[in-house]
A and B are shown apart, each in its own frame.
Chain A
Amino acid sequence: RKEVEQDPGPFNVPEGATVAFNCTYSNSASQSFFWYRQDCRKEPKLLMSVYSSGNEDGRFTAQLNRASQYISLLIRDSKLSDSATYLCVVNPRGGSYIPTFGRGTSLIVHP
C-alpha cells in the first residue's frame, strides 16, 4: 500500500457543483495533514491544514478520520478558478520530518 493515495481523477464538474476528494494514508502515527493546490506549471500552495475536529474555510471543508486513516476535502459551489490539482500531504511523527505528498487529484470545473 502506498503511503499516501489519491484518486488522480480528473473530476470533471460543472460550475456550482459540490465535489469531494479523499486521501488515504498508511502511517497511523501521522501527525499533521494538509491540502495543497497546484495549478498547471506552478508550484504547490497551501490550501488548508486539516484538523482533527474538521475545519472550514469559505467554500472548502477539510476533515480527518484517524480511525479509517483518510482525510477529505469538500468544495462547494465550484468555480472555474477551482480547476487545479489538489495534493494531500501527510507529516509523520517521530524521527522522520519528511512529509509525504500524494500524487494529486485533478479537478476540472467547466461552465
Chain B
Amino acid sequence: GAGVSQSPSNKVTEKGKDVELRCDPISGHTALYWYRQSLGQGLEFLIYFQGNSAPDKSGLPSDRFSAERTGGSVSTLTIQRTQQEDSAVYLCASSLGTGRETQYFGPGTRLLVL
C-alpha cells in the first residue's frame, strides 16, 4: 500500500519568506509526527497529532513554526519568516494509534534557506 508522502521533496527559499510543507500519512493512521533533522544530527521532535486531540506542540522551536492537520489526515507544517538555521530535512511520520507502535516515515522535505 501507499506509504507516507511528503511534498515538496526539496525547497529552496530566501530568508524571510514563508514556506509550507505537506505530509500525507498512511491511510488509517491516527498519529502523525513532524521531526527535523539537520545535517549529521539526530531527529528533533517538533509536533505530534493524535486523532482529534489537541496537538502536542512542545517541540516547536519558535512561534514562527506552526502545523495543522485537517480532517485527521493531511498535515501542513508552516515556517514563517524563515531563517538560515531553519535549513534541514523535515520528516513526517505516522503510526497506527498511541504512538508506541512502529512509525513510518516519509521521504522528507529538504529545506534550504538562503
Contact = CB atoms under 8 A, between A and B. Distances in A.
Interface of A: 31-32, 34, 42-46, 49, 87, 89, 91, 97-99, 101-104
A43 B91 CA distance: 7
Interface in B24-74: 31, 33, 35, 41-43, 45, 48, 50, 56, 58-59
Contacts of A97: 31, 48, 50, 56, 98-100
B interface majority secondary structure: loop
A46 B102 contact: yes
20 contacts: A32-B100, A34-B102, A42-B107, A43-B91, A43-B105, A45-B105, A46-B103, A46-B104, A87-B42, A89-B103, A91-B99, A91-B100, A97-B99, A98-B48, A98-B58, A99-B99, A99-B103, A103-B41, A103-B42, A104-B42
A45 B3 CA distance: 12
Interface of B: 31, 33, 35, 41-43, 45, 48, 50, 56, 58-59, 91, 98-108
Contacts of B48: 97-98
A43 B100 contact: no
A95 to B, nearest CB: 10
A44 B6 CA distance: 14
B87 to A, nearest CB: 15
Contacts of A32: 100-101
A97 B41 CA distance: 22
Contacts of B43: 44, 87, 101
Top 10 nearest A-B pairs (CB, nearest first) are A97-B99, A103-B42, A43-B105, A101-B43, A91-B100, A32-B100, A46-B102, A44-B105, A43-B107, A43-B108
Contacts of A44: 43, 91, 105
Given A43-B91, A98-B56, A104-B42, A31 B102 contact: no
Residue of A44, A45, A46 with most partner-chain B CB within 10 A: A44
